[in-house]
């Protein structure tokens, strides 16, 4: 049992200062002699963690060291991450979190968050009551069925909610005590997990249908009752559940799906950034998606709604977007088109090869959300480059191993003409005397800012136009110098300032839409900045 005095204090991650307890505090709190005699500063502790990380051989080991740090000294954890966000975000989230989730049950040390198995159906309030905080404002929840591009990982997917919420805090300053990662365990259809003696989830196939829907309903109802100001972010649900869940609850509670709406917003931000380079109009662009799931349709619909704001009708806007999946171009004559895909299934002859679809449709932008690597091959990039002076190439699938192409391939095969952004990070690319800095279309530009805006306004809903506002706010932060290097997203080294800018823009829209539960402050930017968490040891 952890306490606020004595040895237990050193096992309380919220209050523990580790070697930074002063000599006077050690005597007062009953921990004298339990630590080396010299008291550190927080900055010295940060430097020590940096050194420890430098001595590790691979990113998974670094992920585990940081996870251990979060479990024993939360303040130091966030101070380390905030000391160099651009370096640490790929370690605590994509791409490293993908490997961590795949090996989760083999490398588990300390647990974090709540696990809600379907065997607890009917008792969720009792189980959730075990969480020590009574004012939860943000929940990231997954059922582990579609973790990044890695598929069904069951409860091993908990790394995703944990990592996402860490970025809420690091990037936008959402106080960590207001966040709660949750995994809903409804089973897994992954035979390797079911046969693994170390797997920690329910050993049963996934529950479907009415029983699953009732479990989700109990979860949402319970969260709304226990945490009435909470925003629920759905994460890495399979398409068959992600789309219906969002439709069912988006008008009932404060909620959104980051894979659908956050991905859409960051893609739209990239498009706005690309248009600053190509000097084109949004309503003149044609988009071809490789992948036809909820991420593709979410991006396509947000692009369409953004086009409507620029004068197009919704039908005109949707007609400029095409989907291509494992069965080829999505056309009206196909019999396997789901309801959520139908707005983007158009009259056209069937096309079974992606490069042929490019030649026939002549898109200005291709967006990869297929989770299948290397499908943007040389023929694809060269075709886009023949058709467009500045082809827009967005391989957004995560993690890096699933990217449709690399930055080097896109720049090389397009002879430096591609406007490129990817889902996972790639290093700069030099071609001749030119160096290109690839952008990362990471949802981290969107969801932490959305969280801070919701926190500052106590918003009752999250709406589609809030994501369009966020996308524009991200794009306007890119300088001309950065555009000249091919960068269409703001650099991540100063992500906190970028997120707070975006949060202010979203909050303004929340107030305009009458969705806030608190009065608008005279200085909204100052109000949001004052709310932002800064790592500092709490009084004990």
Let me know if 396 is a catalytic residue. no
Of 62, 63, 78, 164, catalytic = 164
Please calculate the CA angle 329-334-336 and round it to the nearest 5 degrees.
100
**What is 7-85's CATH number, 1.20.1370.30, 1.10.10.1100, 3.40.50.1010, 3.40.50.720?**
1.20.1370.30
Catalytic residue selected from 77, 93, 212, 256 = 93
**What digits encode the pLDDT tens for the residues 307-354?**
999 999 999 999 999 999 999 999 999 999 999 999 999 999 999 999
Q: Which fold has domain 261-443?
A: Rossmann fold (3.40.50)
Q: Residue 474: helix, strand or coil by DSSP?
A: helix
| Residue 390 Cα distances to 131, 318, 419, angstroms | 52, 22, 6
Question: Is pLDDT at 456 greater than 90 in this prediction?
Answer: yes
Contacts of 169 (CB under 8 A, 6+ apart): 78, 175, 176, 179, 448, 533
Q: What would the two tokens of residue 94 be?
A: 């994509």
Residues of the chain within CATH 1.20.1370.30 domain(s) are 7-85
pLDDT digits (tens, 9 = 90+) for 372-430: 999 999 999 999 999 999 999 999 998 888 999 999 999 999 999 999 999 888 999 99
pLDDT of residue 362: 98
Q: What is the mean pLDDT of residues 451-465?
A: 97
Q: Which CATH architecture has domain 91-253?
A: 3-Layer(aba) Sandwich (3.40)
Task: Compute the distance between CA of residue 35 and CA of residue 21 in angstroms, rounded to an integer.
Answer: 9
Question: What's the confidence (pLDDT) of residue 503?
Answer: 98
Using one digit for the tens of pLDDT, what is the confidence trace for 139-189?
999 999 999 889 999 999 999 999 999 999 999 999 999 999 999 999 999
- Determine the pLDDT at residue 3: 64
- Full-model pTM: 0.92
Q: Please, where in the chain does CATH 3.40.50.10380 lie?
A: 91-253
pLDDT tens across 276-296, in order?
999 999 999 999 999 999 999
Measured between alpha carbons, how far is 405 from 396 in angstroms, rounded to an integer? 9
Q: What is the 3-state secondary structure (H, E, C) of 281-324?
A: CHHHCCEEEECCCHHHHHHHHHHHHHHHHCCCCHHHHHCCEEEE
Q: Are strands 255-257 and 328-329 parallel, antiparallel or unpaired?
A: unpaired
Asked whether 139 and 84 are in contact (CB, 8 A), the reply is: no
**Residue 1 pLDDT exceeds 50:** no
Residue predicted with more confidence, 439 or 521: 521
Q: Give the other-Cβ count within 10 Å of 431's Cβ.
A: 13
Q: pLDDT of 51-100, one tens digit each?
A: 999 999 999 999 999 999 999 999 999 999 999 999 999 999 988 999 99
Whether residue 93 lies in the annotated active site: yes
**Alpha-carbon span 110 to 494, nearest angstrom:** 30
CB contact at 8 A, 405 and 376: yes
């Amino acid at each position: 049992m952890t306490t606020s005095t004595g040895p237990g204090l050193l096992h309380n991650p919220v209050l523990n200062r580790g070697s930074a307890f002063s000599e006077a505090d050690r005597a007062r709190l009953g921990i004298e002699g339990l630590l080396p005699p010299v008291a550190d500063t927080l900055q010295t502790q940060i430097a020590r963690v940096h050194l420890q990380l430098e001595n590790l051989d691979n990113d998974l080991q670094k992920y585990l060291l940081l996870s251990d740090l979060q479990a024993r000294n939360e303040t130091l954890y966030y101070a380390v991450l905030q000391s160099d966000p651009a370096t640490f975000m790929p370690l605590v989230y994509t791409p490293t979190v993908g490997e961590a989730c795949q090996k989760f049950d083999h490398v588990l040390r300390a647990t974090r968050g709540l696990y809600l198995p379907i065997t607890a159906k009917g008792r969720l309030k009792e189980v959730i009551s075990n969480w020590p905080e009574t004012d939860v404002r943000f929940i990231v929840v997954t059922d582990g069925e579609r973790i990044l591009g890695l598929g069904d990982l069951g409860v091993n997917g908990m790394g995703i909610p944990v990592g996402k919420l860490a970025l809420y805090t690091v990037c936008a300053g959402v106080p960590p005590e207001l966040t709660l990662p949750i995994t809903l365990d409804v089973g897994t259809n992954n035979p390797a997990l079911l046969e693994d003696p170390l797997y920690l989830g329910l050993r049963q196939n996934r529950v479907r249908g009415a029983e699953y829907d009732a479990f989700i309903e109990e979860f949402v109802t319970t969260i709304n009752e226990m945490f009435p100001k909470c925003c629920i972010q759905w994460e890495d649900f399979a398409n068959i559940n992600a789309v219906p869940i969002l439709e069912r609850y988006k008008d009932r509670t404060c909620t959104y799906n980051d894979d659908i709406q956050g991905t859409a917003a960051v893609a739209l931000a990239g498009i706005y950034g690309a248009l600053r380079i190509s000097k084109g109009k949004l309503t003149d662009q044609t988009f071809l998606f490789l992948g036809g799931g909820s991420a593709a349709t979410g991006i396509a619909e947000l692009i369409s709604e953004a086009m409507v704001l620029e004068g197009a009708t919704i039908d005109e806007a949707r007609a400029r977007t095409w989907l291509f999946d494992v069965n080829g171009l999505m056309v009206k004559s196909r019999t396997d088109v789901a309801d959520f895909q139908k707005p983007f299934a158009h009259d056209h002859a069937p096309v079974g090869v992606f490069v042929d679809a490019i030649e026939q449709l002549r898109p200005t932008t291709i967006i990869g959300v297929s989770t299948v690597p290397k499908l943007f091959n040389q023929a694809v990039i060269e075709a886009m480059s023949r058709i467009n002076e500045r082809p827009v190439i967005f391989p957004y699938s995560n993690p890096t191993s699933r990217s449709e192409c690399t930055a080097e391939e896109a720049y090389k095969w397009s002879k430096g003409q591609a406007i490129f952004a990817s889902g996972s990070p790639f290093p700069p690319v030099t071609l001749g005397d030119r160096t290109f800095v690839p952008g990362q279309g990471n949802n981290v530009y969107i969801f932490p800012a959305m969280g801070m805006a919701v926190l500052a306004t106590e918003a009752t809903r999250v709406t589609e136009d809030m994501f369009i506002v966020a996308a524009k706010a991200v794009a306007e932060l890119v300088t001309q110098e950065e555009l000249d290097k091919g960068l269409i997203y703001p650099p991540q080294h100063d992500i906190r300032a970028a997120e707070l800018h975006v949060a202010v823009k979203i909050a303004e829209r929340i107030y305009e839409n009458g969705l806030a539960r608190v009065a608008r402050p005279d200085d909204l930017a100052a109000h949001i900045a004052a709310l932002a968490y800064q790592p500092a040891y709490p009084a004990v």
